[in-house]
Structure formats: structure tokens, C-alpha cells
Amino acid sequence: MRQNLTKSFRILWAVAEPLLAFALLGFLVTVAFGSGGLFPNALATGAWWKIAIYLALMTHVTITAMSLSFHRQYTHQGVVFSKWVDRPMQAWLALTTGMSKRDWVSVHIYHHAHSDQDLDPHSPKHKGLARIFFLGVYDYVVAKSWPDVVKLRKKIPEDRYEKVLNDNPVIGPIFTASALTIAFGPVWGGFLSVMTFAISPLFAVGGVNALAHAIGYRNYQTTDESRNIGFLFPLNWMICGELDHNNHHAHPRSCSFRHRWYEFDIGYFYIRALSAVGLAQIKTAHSLKKAAAKSASPDRSPHNDSSAPTPPARPESLYA
């Protein structure tokens, strides 16, 4: 019973500690600058449309950094970015999510190896759409400690810069919340902080892993339930083309998620632009022209069909 009480206390303290710290920060900001912070008039008029623009831009920048760096580069190795590009993206993710590259990559590799099977950490097929949409981030946190995921994590290299970020996951969010609170006061600053930290759980976990495994169309008959919903263009723009998810699960190595002429992947547009100025090196990208030529070819055997989906990779195959 004593152990249960200790565990309960730790859980309560884990929730109460940041709330108490924020309350203290809010009090100090109010004393020093007033209830509106350094910019008391910034949200005095038109607050909600300004917040909507803030949320759209913050979502796009945050998910773009996650998609290009953690996802397309480190998990699937379809592109390699210059450190001048990748390090700012990782720093941004540290500020807005507190996520570790090694945690994110290892969980995602495991997801692909067991997509929509019993061992998938976040499958709406097994856990329900609402559960993954709203609580998928909890499943992500739990999956980080699974033995097989931990083994994968140990194989993922990190340099000194990444180690500093990965070993101090709370520093970034604390800095962001403090900056927003000082700028706009405890009320609006607190609200903007909550919205900022909700971006990854709602749009990355909820938008992609929930919706794109439940609704939409399929270009490929993969073994999972992945779907394309890139036709939800404003949402797909905000989350960097990630919603053409069936294309991605069929060809996970490709750093382009656009597989039909009517689809659009803003993330690959950024990759092409960075490649043109020498800041990115494209390793693997699905080609619409080659796929069209193959589909018109009389020899359509699976081993000659570049549009055929690739089998799921074993978890060990990317980081042997």
C-alpha cells in the first residue's frame, strides 16, 4: 500500500509541479510588467484571428521540422540535410515539443514494422479512432519504454548537439512557456503555451496516425489500413504533406509523398528547394514520370514495377 501511495504522489506531483511553476512565473510577470506582459496591447483587439494565424503557422513550422528531420531524414533516410538546416529544425522541436530524436525515430520504426497489427503503438484499428486522436501521445510515451523499442533507440546515433537536446527535454518547453508568458502575460501567454504544446499530439499523432489510418483513399494495397487524405488541403499544408499516408506506407524510403499528379507534398517542395542550393541531398524519391512509364509498360511483373509497394522493413534494418 505504501508503494501505491508513493506512486500516486509521484503522479500528482508530476502534474502539479509545472502548474505551480507556471503560477509562480505568472505572478512574477504580473508584478514586473503587469497582467498583459511586455506587449499588453498585442491581443487587445482581433485576438482570435491573430491566435488562429499563430496556430496555423506554428503548426506548419513545427510539423515541417518533424516531418523533414525526424521522419524523412532520420527514420527513413530518404534525404540528408546540411547541419545548417537540420540543427535549427531539431532546436525548434526541442522548444515546441521537448521530443527526443532517438525516442521519436525508434517508436516510428517500430510502428512501420507492425503497422495496424497488435504491436502497433498507435493503431486506430485496434484502439479506436477517438482514443488515438486524443490520447495517442500517451501511447507514444508508453511505447518509448518497450524493450524492443529501447533496443532500437540504442542503435540510433546522436552527436553532442543532439545529446544536449535529448538529455534535457524540459528545457525547451520551459523556455517557450516563459517567453510567451513574459511577452503576453499569464492569461494569453498560458493559453498560447497550451496551444503550442498541443500541436504535436493533435496534428502529428491525431491527424496522421489516427485519421490517415481510418479514412481516405488508397493508391496501394498495403498490408495495413493507411489512407490518403491529402485532399484536405489546408490541413495537409499545415502538416507538411503527411496526410498522403498510404503513399508513404507503400514507399517508406521515398522522401516524396506525392504519387499522383493531383496530389501535393509541400514537404518535398521544400526538400527540392533546399537541394537546389546545396543544403539537402535527396537519396530516394518516388518519381511520377518513372511510375507512369512503368504502368504503361507491357512487363508489369511485381519485381519490375516501381510503383509496387515495398514490404514493411524489419525494425533492425535501418539501424543495424
170 and 98 Cβ atoms separated by less than 8 Å? yes
**3-state secondary structure labels for all residues of the chain:** CHHHHHHHHHHHHHHHHHHHHHHHHHHHHHHHHCCCCCCCCCCCCCHHHHHHHHHHHHHHHHHHHHHHHHHHHHHCCCEEECHHHHHHHHHHHHHHCCCCHHHHHHHHHHHHHCCCCCCCCCCHHHHCHHHHHHHHHHHHHHHCCCHHHHHHHHHCCCCHHHHHHHHCCCHHHHHHHHHHHHHHHHHHHHHHHHHHHHHHHHHHHHHHHHHHHCCCECCCCCCCCCCECCCCHHHHHHCCCCCEHHHHHHCCCCCCCCCCCCCCCHHHHHHHHHHHCCCEEECCCCCHHHHHHHHHCCCCCHHHCCCCCCCCCCCCCCCC
**What residue segments make up the domains of the chain, in order of their start?**
1-34, 47-288
pLDDT of residue 70: 97
pLDDT of residue 276: 98
Please give the pLDDT value at position 54: 95
Give residue 309's pLDDT.
57
- The per-residue pLDDT for range 259-305, each reduced to its tens digit, is 999 999 999 999 999 999 999 999 999 988 776 666 555 444 433 34
Condensed to tens digits (0 to 9), the pLDDT of residues 247-262 reads 999 999 999 999 999 9
290: Cβ–Cβ under 8 A, 6 or more apart, which residues?
A: 306
Q: Model pTM?
A: 0.86
Q: Retrieve residue 40's grid coordinates.
A: 499588453
Q: Find the length of the chain.
A: 320
- In this predicted structure, what is the pLDDT of residue 129? 86
Average confidence (pLDDT) per 10 residues, the chain, 320 residues: 59 64 74 80 88 95 97 97 97 94 95 91 86 86 92 94 92 92 92 92 83 92 93 92 95 95 95 98 88 55 46 54
Using alpha carbons, list the distances in angstroms from residue 224 to 215, 244, 269, 282, 311: 13, 14, 27, 27, 11
The alpha carbons of the chain give a radius of gyration, in whole angstroms, of 21
Quote the pLDDT of residue 5. 55
Look at residue 87 in the predicted model and tell me its pLDDT. Answer: 97
